[in-house]
Structure 1
Amino acid sequence: MTINNILCPTDFSDMANRAISYAAEMALKYDATLHLVSVINEIHGFDSFQVLAITPRDIHEHMLKITQEKLDELTSDIRPSIPLHTAVLEGHPSTEITRAAAEFDCDMIVIASHGRTGLEHILIGSVAESVTRHSHCPVLIVK
């Protein structure tokens, strides 16, 4: 089996950081490119809030900027010898992760078993489970 591209999504949780460590080690071992991605949900209804000083569009753009900054911080902890690509994706996490894996021609996805906790986890469901079901490539789930 040849592994040239590894996708590792993050929500910046401790579990996701653990998955990144696994993905980085695998990328080093297989001389593969590591694709770090984070997904933010789209905000709808921009036009309804134009009377506010800070609009949902402003909040959305700020979220994009902050998320990219966090990804950039993570890359500083990864060995420089590992080819690295980062991307901020917008939409439903499992959908965007599986789409990105196909787009980046990934041979494997390394994902945390869970990130968020509590009610948010129950409402959103298991992203890792959905990615495993819909991915075109093998998925390594890190506990």
Structure 2
Amino acid sequence: MTMDEVKKILVPVGFDAFTEKELEIAANIAKRYDAEVHILHVYQDVFSVLSMRTLDLDRAAVEEKIHSSVEEKLHQLVAEVRMDSPAKAVAIKGEIVDSIIEYVKNEQIDLVVLATHGRAGISHFFLGSVAENVIRFSPCPVLTFRTPPKKD
């Protein structure tokens, strides 16, 4: 694949300090190659991490509230970052890496732009690396840039 064939760019975002930089890089590439930018946030099922005491909550209402909140945040992000190319914001509930790879395949993404968070030591051992696994399993090229390392 050549860069001229890049028509769909995916930016998985975590709403962290580097999200704006990821979007800026993707926007520049998209403008140059007349590509569409897909901004994806994957969030986990809140009920899988909460204790059993949450059973009395209205699960559907809570999930809808979380999804709406994430979508609103994504749309604000798109509005804040100057996008000269078409942009699509999507929120998905699921496992992060699996959801990113599935989205890449389903949407026929040509390029993924992703920050590596520079985790080292024990946190990398236990948490693994989203970027590393996206690179390993993505059917398309992944452009990464390194962010300053976090201390354990």
TM (normalized to structure 2)?
A: 0.79
Matches of residues 1-143 of structure 1 in structure 2 within 5 Å?
A: 1=2, 2-42=5-45, 43-44=47-48, 52=56, 54-114=57-117, 123-143=126-146
Structure 1: runs of 5 or more not aligned:
none
One-letter code aligned to 2:106: E
Q: Secondary structure at the match of 1:39?
A: strand
Higher RCO structure (Cα 8 Å, ≥6 apart): 1
Q: Secondary structure at the match of 1:66?
A: helix
CA shift digits 1:39-83 (9 cap, x unpaired): 0112349xx76863x334333222111110110001102335311
Structure 2: runs of 5 or more not aligned:
147-152
One-letter code aligned to 1:81: D
One-letter code aligned to 1:24: A
Q: Secondary structure at the match of 1:64?
A: helix
Kindly tell me the number of residue pairs found equivalent between the two proteins: 141
Distance in 2 (CA, whole Å) between partners of 1:51 and 1:136 is: 39
Determine what percentage of the aligned residue pairs are the same residue.
29
Cα distance change of structure 1 residues 50 and 138 upon mapping to structure 2, 3 Å threshold: closer
Quick check: 2:27–2:84 contact (8 Å CA) kept in 1? Answer: no
Report how far residue 122 of structure 1 moved.
5.9
TM (normalized to structure 1)?
A: 0.84
